[in-house]
Structure 1
Amino acid sequence: SLTDGRKFDSSRDRDKAFRFKLGKQEVIRGWEEGVGQMSVGQRAKLICSPDYAYGNKGHPGIIPPNATLIFDVELLSLE
């Protein structure tokens, strides 16, 4: 979510886990570093400053420029 509480995406709402590979630049830097330190079954709040998220460009139509993002993340499995 954004710092004002607006939700921009939720894999929980879709009832489908978000899958990605660490180290492949598939996700923002905040996820690479935050999820990379988690253990299976752990839940964490990741607060990503713009330089660890989408920076000064944002993601047009979804995330404004220079946005700090807050994620509620649960690591379900590792492969």
Structure 2
Amino acid sequence: MVQAYILIQTDVGQAGSVAQAIAEIPGVVQADDVTGPYDVVARVEADNVDELGRMVIAQVQGLHGITRTLTCPVVRV
């Protein structure tokens, strides 16, 4: 199991609707609109890194209102 945080920048005024849309994607554990340099932070899970990449590219980045994403995989050290 691969877990990651996706930091998301949105168009002005779109954070709430983007967070709601992301929360409906399978594999998304939590999606919150936040303040700061990013507008939405999502916590996601996938079976492997390839599945994680497909989720981010095909499902998350394709949503209306998203301008940029940064995916931060969780590591156990």
- TM band (smaller chain): under 0.3
**Higher normalized strand content (fraction of residues):** 2
**Higher normalized helix content (fraction of residues):** 2
